[in-house]
Structure 1
Amino acid sequence: MSEDQASIPVITVDGPSGSGKGTVAMRLAQDLGWHFLDSGALYRLVAVAAMDRGIA
């Protein structure tokens, strides 16, 4: 891992479904001027792709 990669800040927000994690994380990213990654959306896309291919 390069020195630049090691210094990239990451914040994770955890909690139960429907608790506002995405809203809090998106607002925090906006306030800090950082990128926002909605991992839940990624998981849902992978699940749909798996179902479309008969894997799940």
Structure 2
Amino acid sequence: MTNLTEKELLAINDLLDGESELVKKFQMLSNSTSDPELKQTFSNISQKHQQHFNAVYSKLQ
């Protein structure tokens, strides 16, 4: 990966923080509902955000 500026690194860090928060929030929603359809939907959304996080993070390595 090419060298990133401090501003770019801060933006990526913000993106990763946001994705991490979304993973946690949708997992919490999935755990807190008894409706199976909602539980699955929230879990799927959480997994999608985890995939986004992992994809961005892997580019930094």
Q: TM-score range by the shorter chain?
A: 0.3 to 0.5
Kindly indicate which of the two structures has a greater share of residues assigned to helix: 2
Task: Output the TM-score relative to the length of structure 2.
Answer: 0.35
Structure number with larger C-alpha Rg: 1
Instruction: Provide TM-score, normalisation by structure 1.
Output: 0.37
